[in-house]
Structure 1
Amino acid sequence: MDITKRFSVLLITAITAVSLVSCGQATSSNVSSDSEVSSVTNAKASAWDSLNDAQRAYYKGLEDKGQTITENGYVYVDAKGYVDEWGKEYGDEGIVITSYFGTETIVNVPIEIDDKTVVGHTIDAFRKISKEGNKFDMTFDIKELYYPENFPEITAGIFSLCESLEKIQMPKSQTTIPFACFKHCTSLKEFTCPDGVTVIKQDSFSSCENMASITFNDGLKTIEDDAFVSCKSLEKLDFPDSLESIGIQSFQGCTGLKEINIPSKIDTIPKRAFFACKALEALVLPDNITTINSEAFARCNSLKEIYIPESVNEIAENAFDECDSLTIKGKSGSYAEEYAKE
């Protein structure tokens, strides 16, 4: 349906006090005053009105190709036979959100739209898009985003460079924090891992420089390479006992990090794992650690004391480079004592 015609129908519908439907949820059918009619109509029209000419042309092009546009800014397509830009093929039931250009900055991802179940969304669904010639322009204005508990898992890179995002609640179905999922989300302030997550993938939170708090779930097993590089505002890492490994450079450049508890299942401190964590002053390594790799704690300039257990039998020569005030503690006769003397 033509956009202008659709808003005309909406206005007539509101005036006659017929119930309105938005994202599959009916509003009250008892319109009590002209002011209420006006506010509902304006709220729905504002999503389209907020767009520039290039954006309107882009979304009108999607509609011309058979996608459906709702008055509050959701664009969707039938899931049957649909393949997204990553090659993911959806099933025969429900719909896929391909775009959202609404004006809300706090968004609850809908379970249904137009009485149809939402089974996923594309990687750029929550970025406003316009196209001029061969050039795409994408903007992201959402500050908080909340998923329904049983929404399907979200995929790699989906919120990378979304600089306005301050808070997100992922689906409970999530089993990983995907590759580069929140990379360069510079306004993200806090994060809680869903209960089912076992892996935090490479680059997941790299350069989230204002994230001050992360709550890991019980059951997390792996943190991959570069996962938290340059998260400069993190002050504490309270790892769960279930954690088995951390990756190369996983916390490099976390310059505000003051406190770390490393669980007993971890046996290796990888290369540059805590490189340039300049606020770290003291650390106790658990008895299961056997190896401390190259530059693992290099440039931790404030590190004054570290306890290295008897289980450690390999420490890279440059593991503590530029830790000029460091005292290594360990048991007499241990490899740690030998390394310290050398």
Structure 2
Amino acid sequence: MHIRKRVLVTGGAGFLGSFLCERLLNDGCDVLCVDNYFTGARRNITHLLDNPYFELMRHDVTFPLYVECDEIYNLACPASPIHYQHDPVQTTKTSIHGAINMLGLAKRTRAKIFQASTSEVYGDPEVHPQNEAYWGRVNPIGRRACYDEGKRCAETLFFDYHRQHGLGIKVARIFNTYGPRMHPNDGRVVSNFITQALRGKPITVYGDGSQTRSFCYVDDLIEGFVRLMDAPDEVTGPMNLGNPGEFTILELAEIVIEMTGSRSSIDFKPLPGDDPTQRKPDITFARETLGWEPRVALRDGLKSTIAYFDDLLREMDDISLGRLN
């Protein structure tokens, strides 16, 4: 008889978490999705609720959790500047207390545990592209530090639990990811540009738009997650997962305007503090170790993302105008 692997996904109702839950169910796992809905949303996982192998629990990872599982994916943490700066103390707690609680659970159940870390651990980098050996350049007292340093400390905890308790760990450093189910008001560049273009509002570009980002489509990233988790135990990471294709913010704005057929103008505003000027992953480690690299081109990924936001904004308009029962 096939015994299903029981997998816990924290932040499972979020953008990335919902796609991961979906993938794990398709792979034949039992999935326990845990979320406190700070940035996650039930709408992201409603299509999974009838699946007998899917369970949903409302819980905040800053409090201990007592369940049984074989694997843990720790994705719980607000990941956009607007959300993580809204309550910076809670953001730090989510990263650090959340990591301690999930590592404690993994230690008790002897579960393999995955940490969704971030390219933000590199801060505003002096090395380009960034590889895993680079220690980063982070302002520890800036407005982004609650997230940057919280994630850096979580990585520390993971490796200390690995060394001290022999825990099986996997640490992925995620670079900018986009796709359907992104929060419409998360302030991230892709969702911002698409919603502004669809609404016909000016596209907000900070600075002169020459700063670069690398955009990875969500399906590619989730494939990387699963491959890293399934890799041999000695492959702990940290491992960069992202798309090395590099675009300026201005290029992205122009592509979105073109693809939406919008008449939006571009509105230049001052650059926020500690905003990285360049962001591009060196994915040599992932390519050589997992045979993984992104396959979805930016325009292809934007096509489905724009379609999602188009539907979502229409639905939001209908609700505000009382057209839906």
TM-score (norm 1): 0.22
Q: Looking at CA atoms only, which structure, 1 or 2, has the larger radius of gyration?
A: 1
Structure number with higher strand proportion: 1
Higher normalized contact order (CA 8 Å, seq sep 6+, divided by chain length):
2
